[in-house]
Amino acid sequence: MFRLLAFSVILLLVPRQGANSEYVSVEQTSKLHGIDVSHHQKVIEWDTVAAGWPVDFAFVKATEGHDFVDSLFCQNWSELKRIGVRRGAYHFFRAYGCGDEQATHFLSLVEMEAGDLAPVLDIEVLDGIAPEIMVQEAKIWLETVEKQLGVKPIIYSNQHFFERHLAGHFDEYPLWIARYSDEKPMLNSGKQWDIWQFSNEGCVDGICKKVDLNVFPGTPQTLERLCWYPSSTSQDAVSGNVIP
């Protein structure tokens, strides 16, 4: 089960903003719970996870740099589809690598299906590279993936790194922010986050290692705005129409 750090009092009315969304006032009781995992969590018993505390969405690590593939990505990706949990894939960005090569690497592995969460670019290290070069290459990754899939990727970072190196450069992208606290993030730039990673100490039945815990301050319907659909069905999905 999740040990949720007094989770019931975390959120107030939170305005959401992102490239695939509009401002939405969200009631305190309207929130979705999520986790994110990689090979560090070892083999996960997803049926046990699904039978325990409700997991509304999960992100899984797919790739890193220009050649690393997470050894458990394919298994986690297919298992999440099997058990019916909304899934998303993320790429850990290496600042010393070329953005186009890293984007091509990610796209060659991840097969998106309608309703999956938009791809995530995890940016949290400089790797000894000048910040302006890191920003330039990250933009190439984001633009390449967006052009290929027709959806704006989500940016993940911790609050300190985001405010020091990323704020003002990626305002048009949805933001998944890490801040391990009972108090929701308040960014100096005024940028509104879409997903909050509030702990890296979660205990979940079916996962043998500590796991990151996340919250989306909205409903399944508003989460659709952060999801990918083929261009012919995207408008129906966002508007809530049934897709055959």
113 is catalytic: no
Residue 48 near residue 205, CB atoms below 8 Å: yes
Beta bridge partners of 202: 211
Distance, in Å, from the CA atom of 215 to the CA atom of 166, rounded to the nearest integer, reads 22
* Catalytic residue of the set 124, 143, 146, 163: 124
Q: What is the torsion angle, in degrees rounded to the nearest 10, for the CA atoms of residue 99, residue 101, residue 103 and residue 105?
A: -150
Helix axes 99-109, 131-149, angle to 10 degrees: 40
175-178 and 154-158 strand pairing: parallel
Residues annotated as part of the active site: 124
